[in-house]
Amino acid sequence: MSILPIFLAAGAASAAAGTFAWASASPSAQLFGRTIRRTGNASTMALTFDDGPNPAVTPQLLDLLDRHKAHATFFLIGRHLRAFPALAKEIAQRGHTVGNHTETHPKLTFLSRRRIDQELDRCDAAIASATGKAPRLMRPPFGFRGPQLDGVVRHNGGAGVVMWSAMARDWKLQPAERVIERLRRARGSDIVLLHDGDHKVLQGDRRHTLAAVEYWLPRWRDAGLRMVNLDEF
């Protein structure tokens, strides 16, 4: 009996597993449904902040954005939002977009449609209660998604899944200079992944992110870039 079919089957299984892993984690992958990664306009950039609201950093960030007439998008965790609803309301009142980042920040790749639905519904309800408006957009925690996510989002009336085209790797405490240097690669039309919160704790230390954004906002403005939220395109 030839062992060639066994090798071929093993190779096919390995390739399928690799494709699934790429599609579930790569920001550029579209195999499990279309994602939003760029603004489509080289004169704009979209700053996005995950894992808030965070009273230790978000208020200072909002003031900073106001000073530079910059808009942004905040993907909020439901359980954090329930702890600080007034801060979520302030984010929306200052003209920023509020998006869904699930209720508890789980990895969605292998969750059932029902569980994903519950995560999104609870966060949607918290956002609507705090801001008076249900969100249109969501971002999967860690960027992980499975083939079931897009269908759940669109069935619930969402406009799409938002990923990113540039990232600062700022989710761990670190010197601000490292974040500043990574943001040097951000360009016009990028959707930039940043964090004003920490999914593990309610009031995470994100001073390094705040300092990096403060450094880059005037420089991006001088380069002719306009900071937009994701409702502006």
* Catalytic positions, written as ranges: 50, 195
Alpha-carbon distances, residue 170 vs 31, 127, 180, 195, 204 (angstroms): 27, 25, 10, 7, 12
**Which structure tokens are listed for 114?**
């029902």
- CA 166 – CA 45 distance, rounded (Å): 10
Cα 14 from chain centre: 30
* SS3 label, residue 104: coil
- CA 206 – CA 196 distance, rounded (Å): 6
**Which structure tokens are listed for 216?**
């880059």
Backbone dihedral angles phi then psi of residue 172, each to the nearest 5 degrees: -115, 150
* SS3 label, residue 152: helix
- With contact defined as beta carbons under 8 Å apart, do 139 and 191 qualify? no
- CA 50 – CA 192 distance, rounded (Å): 11
- CA 22 – CA 45 distance, rounded (Å): 26
**Which structure tokens are listed for 101?**
């980042």
